[in-house]
Chains A and B, each alone.
Chain A
Amino acid sequence: DQQVKQNSPSLSVQEGRISILNCDYTNSMFDYFLWYKKYPAEGPTFLISISSIKDKNEDGRFTVFLNKSAKHLSLHIVPSQPGDSAVYFCAASWGTGANNLFFGTGTRLTVIP
């Protein structure tokens, strides 16, 4: 039972353009959402997060949007750079404890120079 879903396993974008990665969730109790980035042979690294009391959070080239009514969040990367090529995982949580942190299956982003 996948509570966090990333329906696009891969995405290719030209350098300089916008990358939009999508994530849907089913559990309305989730109140904190995170994006992680993973390079091959490395563990995921935290990228950006958003609390359910907000609908947008920006950090440099990265912006996360949250649509609670649609149970949907997205990560925008503008402009995309070749170094952004990685697998991106979205995650959602409520309460405390790692067992309340649910990850999506990941989207592999390829930024073409």
Chain B
Amino acid sequence: DGGITQSPKYLFRKEGQNVTLSCEQNLNHDAMYWYRQDPGQGLRLIYYSQIVNDFQKGDIAEGYSVSREKKESFPLTVTSAQKNPTAFYLCASSSSVAGLNEQFFGPGTRLTVL
């Protein structure tokens, strides 16, 4: 089955701790994205990567970090510097083929800071 997997589905973190969210895709897509979703605010872009070993900040990158060492993997670390990390996190990927803009989303990880 081709698709995007995110783990874990639910994650609880104590204040001051870093936590890493996993995102894996087997769609052979070059581009991958991380979004944060809060009620009433839609999806806001945290980081994106268009190619292995390269990534760019999105609109709300502060307090987050990423790596892209493999094409299929794009983990997101929520650091203790992120002031309000409780949210629903979505990973997505898309093809780099011209004209194919569709982003495919994973099932999401709900992070709660206790």
Q: Do A and B come from one complex?
A: no
